[in-house]
Amino acid sequence: MCMHLTAVVAHPDDADIFCGGTLAKHAARGDDVTVLYMTRGEYGGFDTTEEEIATVREEEAIAAAETLGAEATFLDFEDGRITYSLENRLELVDALRELRPDVVLTHFRDDMHPDHRTTSRLVTDAYYMCSLPLLETDADPWEPENVYYFGKPTSSFEPETYIDVTDYQSTKEDAVLEHESQVEWLEEHGGIDAEFDGLVEGMRAEARVLGRTRGVTFAEGFVPLHKSADDYLG
């Protein structure tokens, strides 16, 4: 049975780095996969304008999503300036109702980046409001089955659901490399995002560590919102 996954991420490279293998796996088996980008990542660059960076990063995000077998769509939040408000929560409600995903993937609540933390909270609360029949937005009510959170090794994130992505690790890495401007940015920006030093190698090592806990070569880890349905993602 075909299902629909939507990854809601703060920045254009987040989905590929943190759940790209899972997205590619579902796309390969015929599921509908969408990446919803909150921002175009316009703070992620050197010696140029926000508009120029946003244009490059949007193009890279579209190419990366295509590599995974996913559709790309964008909201218009500002990089580094995503705030929690009722208005922004309702924008997420309408976006999820429009996309109608069975499963939503997003950032874990404990994360160094403020955009990641705020996105996590907005998505979680929008998920709860999506099905309310008296809450009117442009799209009709919809109820996703579950939300799964991904996280950084530097946070308190401890996975409970593991997805074997052994056959899709190379696809994930190809998608990450589509973000050519960001591979350079993250590696040179290592004073803050130290876990991104040697981006692809570090990402591969993390997937290998998670895989060992499951007896597979590579894995990605998630925390489900509803524990009773934590096998739905697999």
Contact by Cβ (8 Å): 213, 143: no
pLDDT bucket at 156, cuts 50 / 70 / 90: confident
Instruction: Give the relative orientation of helices 50-68 and 180-188 as an angle to the nearest 10 degrees.
Output: 110
For residue 98, give every residue at least 6 positions away whose Cβ sits within 8 Å of its Cβ, in sequence order, or none: 138, 139
Q: What is the pLDDT of residue 230?
A: 52
Q: Could you read off the pLDDT of 119-142 as tens digits, one per residue?
A: 999 999 999 999 999 999 999 999
pLDDT at 185: 64
d(Cα 19, Cα 17) in Å, to the nearest integer? 6
Say what the pLDDT of residue 192 is. 40
- Please state the pTM of the whole predicted model: 0.92
Sheet of strand 219-224: strand arrangement: 71-74, 32-37, 4-9, 103-107, 146-150, 219-224, 161-164
pLDDT > 70? residue 195:
no
* Domain spans of the chain, in order of start: 4-225
Residues of the chain with pLDDT > 90, as a percent, come to 74
CATH topology of domain 4-225: Rossmann fold (3.40.50)
Residue 45 has pLDDT above 90, yes or no: no
Residue 51 in tokens: 């508009």
Q: What is the CA 195 to chain-centroid distance, rounded?
A: 17
Tens-digit pLDDT profile for residues 86-104: 999 999 999 999 999 999 9
Sign of CA dihedral 87, 89, 93, 94: positive
2 CB-contact burial (10 Å; exposed 0-12 / middle 13-18 / buried 19+): exposed
Mean predicted lDDT score pLDDT of the chain = 90
pLDDT band of residue 194 (cuts 50, 70, 90) is very low
Say how far apart CA 220 and CA 163 lie, in whole Å.
5
Q: Is the pLDDT of residue 193 over 70?
A: no
Q: What is the pLDDT of residue 191?
A: 43
Give the up-direction half-sphere exposure of residue 149: CA atoms within 13 A in the CB hemisphere. Answer: 27
Of 168, 142, 169, 177, the C-alpha closest to 26 is 168
Q: What is the pLDDT of residue 71?
A: 97
**Of the candidates 104, 91, 17, the residue with the CA atom closest to the CA atom of residue 61:** 17
